[in-house]
Structures are given as C-alpha cells and as structure tokens.
Amino acid sequence: MDDRDFFSKVFLEMKGMLTGYFLSNKVRFQDVEDVVNEVFFLAWKYKNTLRDKLKVRSWIFSIAKNVLKVYKNNIKKHKSRFSEVDGDLFYSNNPNDEDLSFVLELIEKLPDKYRDVFILFYIEDKSVKEISEILNISESNCKIRLMRAREKLRSMLENNDLYSG
C-alpha cells in the first residue's frame, strides 16, 4: 500500500470523527469543512514526519487539536469582524437549537483532556480502546478521564443557574 492509498483510507475513516470533534468544539458551521480539510492538508504535507504508521490516528488527531487552537486564536483576534449572530450562525439562528448551544457551552467548559475523551465517547460513539489509540493514552487513563468528565458535567448540571426552562 503506497502513501496515497494509506492516507486516503485514514482520511475516509477519520473525516466524520473530525467533523464531530470540530462541531463539538464550537467551530462555526461554515468553517468546519475548511478546518477538516486543513487537517488533512497538513497531514499530507508533513507525512514524512510520521514515524509509526500504527499511530497515524493519534498523529492526525494531534494535528486537529493544533488546527483548532490556531482557529480559535484567529477567531479571538478577529472577533470584531464577526457579529455575534455571524459568530454562531448555525447555532443561534435556529430557535430550536437552545439545547444544542446548551450542550456546547457545557462541553466548552470542560478541561481539554476531559473534553476530547467526552466528545469521542459520547458524540463519536468510540470505544475506550479506540479512544486510547486515538489520544495515545492507556485505557485506564482514558476511563479515569471519562469518569472525571462525567463528574464535572454532573456538577455543572446540578448548578441552579443553568436551568432556565
């Protein structure tokens, strides 16, 4: 299998997961496609730096995390260019998406290491084994992170201020 076939297969396998990951991290709906493509573009460009092909998923996921960081910094820098509505075009224009923005707010409040595990487990329906491969951590560590993410979410959900219904 040459590089092209290998990366094609990996990209096809991961594009859905990355889309979910970026959407869960409040990447604007109109930007998700570009951000996912940027990840694949960078992966292809720097494919020679990949040492172990078995760890390609965690490698691509770490690229995705960096791309997300850069994206969020850019949004922060140019915040004045976007209006509030434009900033959350997809989430705020639809009145039925109150619950969606509620979830995104909560997910955003989670620390990075818990957030990634939570998204992969609950949004992407990945197993603990798959998550540990993607994040390059042990399964027990993954379980602990998942448990702590749940604890954090529980304490947030128990908070009186969140309830507006």
Binding residues for other proteins, per CB under 8 A? 4, 7-8, 11-12, 15-16, 19-20, 23-24, 29, 32-33, 36-37, 40-41, 44-45, 90, 97-104, 106, 122-123, 150, 153-154, 157-160, 162-163, 165
Q: How far is the CB of 113 from other proteins (least distance, A)?
A: 18
CB-based contacts of 114: which residues, under 8 Å, 6+ apart?
145, 146, 148, 149, 152
Q: Of the two residues 7 and 114, which places its CB atom closer to other proteins in the complex?
A: 7
Task: Please name the amino acid found at residue 22.
Answer: F
Q: How far is the CB of 19 from other proteins (least distance, A)?
A: 6
Please report, to the nearest 10 degrees, the dihedral formed by the alpha carbons of residues 51, 52, 56, 60 taken in order. -30
Q: Of the two residues 92 and 122, which places its CB atom closer to other proteins in the complex?
A: 122
Element (H, E) at 72: helix 56-77
CB-based contacts of 155: which residues, under 8 Å, 6+ apart?
none
Taking Cα atoms as reference points, which of 39, 44, 34 lies closest to residue 4?
44
Q: How far is the CB of 72 from other proteins (least distance, A)?
A: 18
3-state class (DSSP) for residue 153: helix
Angstrom distance (rounded) from CA 70 to CA 84: 20
Q: How far is the CB of 159 from other proteins (least distance, A)?
A: 8
Q: Of the two residues 41 and 82, which places its CB atom closer to other proteins in the complex?
A: 41
Q: How far is the CB of 100 from other proteins (least distance, A)?
A: 4
**Residues in the chain, overall count:** 165
Q: Of the two residues 29 and 137, which places its CB atom closer to other proteins in the complex?
A: 29
Q: Of the two residues 81 and 165, which places its CB atom closer to other proteins in the complex?
A: 165
